[in-house]
Structure formats: structure tokens, C-alpha cells
Chains A and B, each alone.
Chain A
Amino acid sequence: MIRTEELLLNVGPQHPSTHGVFRIIVKLDGEIITEATPVMGYLHRGTEKLAENLNFTQIIPYTDRMDYVSAMTNNYVLVHAVEKMMGLEVPERAEFLRLIVMELQRVASHMVWWGTYLLDIGALSPFLYAFSDRERILQLFNELCGARLTYNYMRVGGVKWDAPEGWIDRVKQFVRDMKTKLLEYDDLASGNEILLSRIKGVGTYDAQTAIDYGLSGANLRSTGVKWDLRKNEPYSLYSRFEFDVPVGKNGDCYDRYLVRMEEMRQSLRILEQALEQFPEGGETMGKVPRVIRPPVGEIYVRIESPRGEIGCYIVSKGKAEPFRLKFRRPSFVNLQILPKLLVGESMTNLVTILGGIDIVLGEVDC
């Protein structure tokens, strides 16, 4: 007789496919997962606790380190929350710069996702293409604020640095190039039969489940729910631009893939319009009190990060430091559905499904 038993397998925390230090303990029956228990906290730095002893300008670099693949949107959610609380006006040029860097960041972030996702599944070359394009965005950011990853670019009331000479033209050039590149990437991968067989129909859930689990971003939209905060609860200048919100139908990994690919095209569309309308001159910092003290009260502000709804809840007691600062991190919330999706899947699909959710561990653990 063949002896069979359940196998307990530990994946991570040091595993390339977990995109950071994520650990998951899976119970296997043959190759089929019967139970999955995620373990987190390896990257927990206590950002929220640290923030309670820092003033708001000092907290901005900490937000860079949450979702380090998309630091610009993290910057924005914090400064936007404080500005809203204090009723500050942001000069138009600064707001344009913010919007441009956020959309560039979205493309860069999705490019990282696209490259690493295909790498997870076994395609090496897309990763190299993706990172060379992302490199161009990082260089643009580097010219703008002197950093490649953790920018610390935005400030309460504006942005730290104005665009250098010729920067806008270089972004325009990039947008033009990127549009053709995206077509190339679709040719290269999107219709690839091996890719389709790996991700089509894998990790499927319906709209109701997605809403129940509070999923956001492409994870929610892949089920057909048309919910994008840039459209539904417009912030910044998004209401001025034309763009579509791509949605999927089946809620599987393939639809998530397609939604993200389309989102990049829409971001480029927004960028084209924003660069066209970019104001000639003007301030990049609004009138801000020397010490930033939001009035007593609380606020919850949310924006659409590449990974979904990133939120910032501030409780202020009128001091320069927040009394309580809580971030709603989309990766953390989106990851909750993973154990449910994995049950009954084969071990091979673990990486496919995890990659499809698109998490950044710095944000999960915060």
C-alpha cells in the first residue's frame, strides 16, 4: 500500500516569488493546497507609532517606505489629507506636477508588476524590457527630485522641487515612446499561449466576493466593478482629464493582467493631456504656516494607488504631530483573499495567484 499523508510546506519569507518577505504555510494533499496560512510582519517598522512623534513633514519620507514601488502616491495621500484638514490651497503648477508624477509612478509600478509577474510564471525576457522602461521613469524622477525610489518629493502645500529645464519635454518624449512599447509588450506576451494557459481561469472570484473582502484597484475591477477613485471620488485634477476605467469580466488572473495593461495606456492618456495643459509658470509651494498644525478633528482621505485604495486616517489634537495616523494599505487588504483563493488550487498556481494580487510587502507590514 502506498502511504499518503498531508505535507506541510513553508514558502518564504526568503523566496523570490513572494515579492519581499512574505511567508505562507501551505498544507498539501499531493499537489493540491488544502489550507494556506499567511504569516506577515517581517517588515513591520511601526510607521504609525513612529509618526506619532514626528511632525507631518518628517512623516513624508516614512510614507515612501511603505509602498516603495509607488512612493509618489503614498506621499500624496498624506499631504493631501493634511491639506484638506487645514484647508490649504495648492498652486496649480504643483498640483500638475503631482498628478504627472503619480501617473508616471502608476506606469512604473505596473511595469514592475508586469515584469516580475511574468518572471514568476517563467518568462525571463519581459522582466528586462519592463525594467529598462521603468528605468527611464526613475531617471525622470531622479532629475526631478534626486532620488530613484524613495522620493520624499511632495510637501504639505505643494512640491519640493520645480521641474528642471526641459523635463516636461522629456516626459512627453517618454510618453510617446511608451505607447509604442506597450503595443510591443502586448504582442510579446499578452496573447502568448503559455501565459494564457497559466493565468486564464486561475484565481477566479466574483464581484460579490471582491466587495466582501474589500478588494480595490485592479483586483476589484477585474470582476467588472467599475470603481476607480480617480473617477468616482475625484481628487487632485483628475476630473479635468478624459480617461476610461478598464474593467474585466471573469475576475481571474488574466483579467487582472488585462486591466493593468489597459490602465497603463489610460495613464499615458492622462499624462498626454496633463503635459499639454501644464502651466507655464507659477509657484510650486502654496502659503503654508511655518509649523503645520492641523486643527482638532479627524479625516479619512483615500486615493487610487496602483494597487488600489490607499487611505490615510488622521486624528489631530491640534499639535504639530498627529495624535493617531493610520494608513489603509491596499496590499494588506487585498492580500486577505489569498488563503481563500488558494484552497483547492495546485501548488504551481500559488505563485500565479499571489503575483496576480500584486502586493508590496513594505505596505502589507507598514
Chain B
Amino acid sequence: MSEEEKQEGARPEGARAEGAQPEGVRAEGAQPEGVRAEGARPKAEEKKQTEGSPAEAEAPVRRKETDEEKAARRKAAFEAREAAKAAAAMAAAQAAKEAANAAASAPAAAHSAAPGAASADGQAPPGAPGAASPGAAAGAAPGSSRPGVAADAAPPPPPPSPNRPRLDRAVQLLRELVAEDAVEEAEINEPNDHLPTIVVKNERWSEAARLFRSHPELNTNYLRNVSGVDHETHMEVVYHLLSLDSGHGYALKVRTDRDTPQVASATPVWQTANWNEREIYDLLGIDFPGHPDLRRIMMPDDWVGHPLRKDYAPLDSEV
């Protein structure tokens, strides 16, 4: 099946989601007319279909024929559902084929998806790749980072990014004032307005955060956003920082392994981090030592598992 056909197949679901939309409508609340009008439209259309001559059949007929109408509506809904199901089945078959291919090449990945839901933080199967990768990352980092940065800065012929000096300065400050090994990687994210992006060593993160907050040259007083990403081999927390005075932005990343993901909390440095970290803890299961109140924020307190993890499978598939 071509990519286009797949999209076609998926469309009924999208349409259904749009039609259902209970939150929007309910929350809107103050707009009964609009809601009612929208709700009435399909009914009127069906009436036209079922009755043949809509001109004669006006209000009184409508009342009598509500049962028929209902049946017609139900039938239409049923057909739509069937169509969606068929489309989903096709998509599923495609997915299964792909999964089989993937499984052939990477058995560990396919394996980890199965028992995922049961354990919140300590999982046996994904542990294998998880344990292997951070070691690899850590091993590669000290070797690659410094010469890597130097190599990037000096030879490449394309015009250097306007933000390159800022990145180099930040890296230099981190090395001098936090620790020699504080920087794992540093690069310019060109499509993102040349955003200086630095991967900070996990153990040095809280000092690095304090440096970024308080150093007069960096002075990133505003934490825009905190995102957690499950990279399957490791977890990553991304802090997008901004200095409201100079308008300079930075992205700082902290990596952690998947078995016992831990990143020192940035809440003591930026209050903004508080709920953001709670959300990441809730959805990805990353622990933030030093956080004043690390509880679930979106999911119910007794929820099992962390939904945004790539290997998440719901405990109760009905939910």
C-alpha cells in the first residue's frame, strides 16, 4: 500500500475524533446555539435521505419518524465504524509486516515492547540495551567532546554560525567554572535559528544550571520549556533557556539511562521547572532528586507505568 493510501485509510478515525470532541463543546458551554445547530445538521440531512420528498414532510412527520431516523442514523454509524475497522485492519497488517521486519533485525527492541506495562521504573527486558548504551555514551563522550568541538570550530568551510562564539564561550565557562568534563557535546542547531545546544554531563547538571542562571555573561533568567524525550537507548531532558535581558537562548540537554533515570531537579534554580518536571516524572518516569514535590500531575495517582515511554503498554488494555 502506498503512503497516500495509508493516509486515506487513517482518515475516518481523524474524522471521528473531530466529530466527537466532547471537551471542546462542553467547555465552551456558553454556546448552546452553536452546539445544537451543529448537532442537528446530520439529522436534517438524514431526514432528507430517508424521506425522499423533504418539501412535504415538515415538522409533524419528523416527530412520527424518529424511530426510522434513529435506525438510519445507527445504520450509518455502523457502516462508518465498519469502514474504519477495515481501514484499521489494513493498517495493522501493514504495521505487523513492518514489525516483523524490524524484529528480524533488532530482536531486543521487539522483545521489550511486550511486558512493558507491569513495572514503573525497573524493567528487565529494556534493561539490556539501556545498560549498554549509557556506558557507550559516557565512554565516547570524554574522548569525542573536546577534540570534536575543536575540530568543528576550526576547519569546516561553510560560514560559521553567528552564534558560534556564544556557544564556545558557554562551553568554556562550563569547563572553567563547573568541571573540565561538564560538557559532553556542543553544537549549533542551525534550523532552529542557530540555537547553541549543549549536552551537559548528568552529574554536573545542577552546578551547570546554577552557572547559567547566575553568570553575568549567560544570565539565562527565564526557563522557557522543559521536555523529556525517550530515545529508547537513553532518556534526555531538554531545557530551553533564555536571557530576557540579552534575548540570547540556549538549549541544554541532560542524558540519563533508562533503568534508573535521574536528573537533578532544576526547580531550586528556576521555579518554572517545578510542574514541568512533575509532568516529565509522570509521563516518562524520570526522577528529579531535589524536587520539592515530585508527584504525578496528569495521570491519576495510582496509575501504573509512564505513558510517554516508547515501550509503554497499558496495564488494562480496555482503558
Q: Which residues of A contact B (CB under 8 A)?
A: 20-21, 40-41, 43-46, 48-49, 54-55, 57-58, 61-62, 64-65, 68, 84-85, 87, 127, 131, 138, 148-150, 152, 211-214, 225, 227, 232-233, 290-291, 295, 297-302, 309, 311, 313, 315, 320, 323-324, 326, 328, 332-333, 335-337, 360-362, 365-366
Q: A298 touches which one: B4, B189, B275, B307 (CB < 8 A)?
A: B189
Binds A, one of B15-23, B103-111, B122-130, B255-263: B15-23
How far, in angstroms, from A192 to B3 measured CA to CA in the complex? 60
How far, in angstroms, from A49 to B38 measured CA to CA in the complex? 29
* Beyond known contacts A212-B271, A213-B272: 10 more, CB 8 A cutoff: A49-B283, A54-B10, A55-B7, A149-B25, A227-B244, A232-B247, A233-B247, A290-B4, A320-B3, A361-B27
25 intermolecular pairs with C-beta atoms under 8 Å apart: A20-B27, A41-B296, A49-B283, A54-B10, A62-B17, A65-B24, A68-B23, A68-B27, A68-B28, A131-B31, A148-B38, A149-B34, A211-B244, A212-B221, A214-B224, A233-B247, A300-B224, A300-B251, A313-B225, A313-B227, A320-B3, A326-B227, A332-B275, A336-B272, A362-B27
Q: How far is the CB of B39 from the nearest CB of chain A, in Å?
A: 13
B195 interfacial contact with A, CB 8 Å: yes
Given contacts A43-B23, A233-B247, A311-B240, contact A291 B3 (CB under 8 A): yes
How far, in angstroms, from A30 to B271 measured CA to CA in the complex? 29
B53 interfacial contact with A, CB 8 Å: no
Q: A41 touches which one: B18, B240, B272, B299 (CB < 8 A)?
A: B299
Chain A contacts for B240, CB-based, 8 A: 300, 311, 313, 328
How far, in angstroms, from A301 to B192 measured CA to CA in the complex? 8
Q: A214 touches which one: B25, B30, B270, B283 (CB < 8 A)?
A: B270
Q: B236-279: contact bitstring with A at CB < 8 Å (1 yes, 0 no)?
A: 00101000100100010000000000000000001110111001
B230 interfacial contact with A, CB 8 Å: yes
B225 pairs with A326, CB closer than 8 A: yes
Number of inter-chain CB pairs below 8 Å = 136
B27 pairs with A211, CB closer than 8 A: no
Chain B contacts for A301, CB-based, 8 A: 192
B300 interfacial contact with A, CB 8 Å: yes
Q: What residue in chain B is nearest A127 (Cβ atoms)?
A: B30
Chain B contacts for A64, CB-based, 8 A: 24
A297 pairs with B191, CB closer than 8 A: yes
Chain A contacts for B223, CB-based, 8 A: 214
Interface size of B in residues (CB-CB distance below 8 Å): 50
Chain A contacts for B10, CB-based, 8 A: 54, 58
How far, in angstroms, from A48 to B279 measured CA to CA in the complex? 12
Given contacts A44-B299, A214-B270, A298-B189, contact A311 B27 (CB under 8 A): no
A84 pairs with B34, CB closer than 8 A: no
B297 interfacial contact with A, CB 8 Å: yes
How far, in angstroms, from A94 to B30 measured CA to CA in the complex? 32
Chain B contacts for A54, CB-based, 8 A: 10
Given contacts A41-B299, A212-B270, contact A333 B4 (CB under 8 A): no
Q: How far is the CB of B212 from the nearest CB of chain A, in Å?
A: 14
Q: B225 touches which one: A55, A149, A328 (CB < 8 A)?
A: A328
A324 pairs with B230, CB closer than 8 A: yes
Q: How far is the CB of A315 from the nearest CB of chain B, in Å?
A: 6
A40 pairs with B298, CB closer than 8 A: yes
B229 interfacial contact with A, CB 8 Å: yes
Q: What residue in chain A is nearest B33 (Cβ atoms)?
A: A135
When A and B form their complex, which 6 residue pairs have the shortest distance between CB atoms, in order from nearest?
A214-B272, A328-B225, A326-B227, A44-B298, A41-B298, A299-B192
Q: B195 touches which one: A44, A138, A300 (CB < 8 A)?
A: A300
Chain A contacts for B34, CB-based, 8 A: 138, 148-149
A313 pairs with B297, CB closer than 8 A: no
Q: B192 touches which one: A45, A49, A300, A323 (CB < 8 A)?
A: A300
Chain B contacts for A48, CB-based, 8 A: 283, 308
Chain B contacts for A309, CB-based, 8 A: 224
Q: How far is the CB of A136 from the nearest CB of chain B, in Å?
A: 13
How far, in angstroms, from A301 to B224 measured CA to CA in the complex? 11
Chain A contacts for B195, CB-based, 8 A: 300
B52 interfacial contact with A, CB 8 Å: no
Q: Among the interface residues A54, A84, A313, A361, which one has the most CB atoms of the partner chain B within 10 A? A: A313
How far, in angstroms, from A212 to B271 measured CA to CA in the complex? 6
Q: B84-126: contact bitstring with A at CB < 8 Å (1 yes, 0 no)?
A: 0000000000000000000000000000000000000000000
Given contacts A61-B18, A225-B244, contact A41 B224 (CB under 8 A): no
Q: What residue in chain B is nearest A309 (Cβ atoms)?
A: B224
How far, in angstroms, from A299 to B227 measured CA to CA in the complex? 12
B191 pairs with A84, CB closer than 8 A: yes
Chain B contacts for A299, CB-based, 8 A: 189, 191-192
Chain B contacts for A291, CB-based, 8 A: 3-4
Q: B24 touches which one: A150, A290, A295 (CB < 8 A)?
A: A150
B14 interfacial contact with A, CB 8 Å: yes
Chain B contacts for A127, CB-based, 8 A: 30
Q: How far is the CB of B36 from the nearest CB of chain A, in Å?
A: 12
How far, in angstroms, from A149 to B283 measured CA to CA in the complex? 29
Q: What residue in chain B is nearest A313 (Cβ atoms)?
A: B227
